[in-house]
Amino acid sequence: MSQPNIYTARIIDVRFGERVKIVEPVNLYGCSIGSDCFIGPFTEVQKDVNIGNRVKIQSHSFICELVSIGDDCFIGHGVMFINDLFGTGGPAGGDRTLWKQTRIGNKVSIGSNATILPVTICDHVVIGAGSVVTKSIVKPGVYAGNPARFLRALQP
């Protein structure tokens, strides 16, 4: 019987701003995290991810490569970001040319268990818990559902 390769969650090659709080275990590598951020436990942030200032990422979230998150954002528990749309009928694997980017604006709140496909989300948006964002959002407001749809404007 063969033995498995065992890897440990860890923090490698991360650029941190000031006063970042992390609750382990986390898996952070090759990314950039701004000042005054919070990263909850059981979170993975992959390489080439840029996280702005004052961002709170709750536990069990997965932020894949090629994601950019603006300032003053909230990422709820268990939020999943996707960069591979299976455009060839299956996983792209290591072929990064098939992966797509995701851009999250400033002051965006994403509810627990939402799934964010490769899209752009403008500033001042709330995504409801459990929503699936399949298309870019260009108008501030509250969005929810599967697929996520505009519900209403935000209160001033």
In a domain, 69, yes or no: yes
What strand order describes the sheet that includes 74-75? 21-22, 38-39, 56-57, 74-75, 108-110, 125-127, 141-144, 149-152
In a domain, 6, yes or no: no
- Domain assignment present for residue 81? The answer is yes
Residue of 132, 101, 136, 142 lying closest to 122 (CA atoms): 136
Residue 19: give its domain's CATH number: 2.160.10.10
Asked whether residue 71 is domain-assigned, the answer is: yes
Query: How does pLDDT run across 119-154, given as a tens digit for each residue?
Result: 999 999 999 999 999 999 999 999 999 999 999 999
In SS3 terms, 122-140 reads as CCCEEECCCCEECCCECCC
Domain that holds residue 144: 11-152
Domains in the chain, number: 1
Question: Is residue 4 assigned to a domain?
Answer: no
CA–CA separation, 106 vs 99, rounded Å?
A: 23
Is 1 inside any structural domain?
no
Higher pLDDT residue, 127 or 8? 127
Burial of 89 (0-12, 13-18, 19+ CB in 10 A): exposed
Q: Is residue 137 part of a domain?
A: yes
Give whole-number Cα distances, 15 to 42, 64, 67, 82, in Å.
Answer: 19, 16, 15, 23
In the structure, what pLDDT confidence band is assigned to residue 94 with cuts at 50, 70 and 90? confident
Residue 145 identity (one-letter amino acid): G
Using 50, 70 and 90 to split pLDDT, how confident is the model at 92?
Answer: confident
The answer to whether residue 114 sits within a structural domain is: yes
What does pTM read for this prediction?
Answer: 0.95
Tell me: the pLDDT tens digits for 29-75?
A: 999 999 999 999 999 999 999 999 999 999 999 999 999 999 999 99
**Confidence grade of residue 95 (pLDDT, cut at 50, 70, 90):** confident
